[in-house]
Amino acid sequence: MTDVDLLYTEVEDDLRNVVRSVLTSQCEPGAVTALYDGDRALVDGLWKNIAVDLGLAGLLVPEEDGGAGASAREAAVVLEELGRFVAPVPFLTSAVVATTALLGSGSALLGQLAAGARTAALVVPLTTAAHTALPAISAGADGQLTGTVTSVAGALEADVLLVPAAGPDGVALYAVSSTEAKLTPVVSFDMTRQLADIEFDGAAGELVVADGEAAVRRALAAGTALLASEQYGVARWCLDETVSYLKERRQFGRVVGGFQAVKHRLADLYTAVESGNAAARYAAATLVADDADAPVAASVAQAFCSDLAVYAGEEAVQLHGGMGMTWEHPAHLYLKRAKADQLAFGTAGAHRARLADLVEVAGP
pLDDT, one tens digit per residue, over 137-171 is 999 888 899 999 999 999 999 999 999 999 888 89
Phi-psi region of 273 (alpha: psi -120 to 50; beta: other; left: phi over 0): alpha
Rounded CA-CA distance 71/315 in Å is 33
Residue 123 has pLDDT above 60, yes or no: yes
Q: What is the pLDDT of residue 264?
A: 94
Ranges assigned E (strand) in 157-298: 160-167, 170-177, 182-185, 195-204, 206-209, 250-251, 254-255
Q: Which of 6-10, 18-22, 321-325 is least confident?
A: 321-325
Rounded CA-CA distance 151/194 in Å is 9
Q: What is the mean pLDDT of residues 205-213?
A: 94
Q: Which of 69-83, 107-121, 215-229, 258-272 is least confident?
A: 258-272
Rounded CA-CA distance 95/114 in Å is 8
The confidence band for 136, taking pLDDT boundaries of 50, 70 and 90, is confident
Q: What is the pLDDT of residue 167?
A: 84
Average confidence score pLDDT of the chain: 94
pLDDT higher at 246 or 103: 103
Which residues sit opposite 58 in a β-bridge?
A: none
Which residues sit opposite 145 in a β-bridge?
A: 139, 203
Q: What is the pLDDT of residue 208?
A: 96
The confidence band for 1, taking pLDDT boundaries of 50, 70 and 90, is low
Q: What is the mean pLDDT of residues 73-93?
A: 98
Residue 355 has pLDDT above 70, yes or no: yes
Q: What is the mean pLDDT of residues 175-204?
A: 96
Q: What is the mean pLDDT of residues 198-216?
A: 95
Nearest C-alpha neighbor of 175 from the set 188, 191, 187, 164 = 164
pLDDT tens for each residue of 243-293: 998 888 777 777 776 678 889 999 999 999 999 999 999 999 999 999 999
Per cent of the chain over pLDDT 70 is 98
Per cent of the chain over pLDDT 90 is 85
Residue 124 has pLDDT above 90, yes or no: yes
Please count the other Cβ atoms lying within 10 Å of the Cβ belonging to residue 207.
16
Q: What is the pLDDT of residue 2?
A: 54
Q: What is the pLDDT of residue 257?
A: 63
CA 182, chain centre distance (Å) = 24
Residue 364 has pLDDT above 90, yes or no: no
Angle at 32 between CA 28 and CA 33, to 5 degrees: 115
- Length of the chain measured in residues: 364
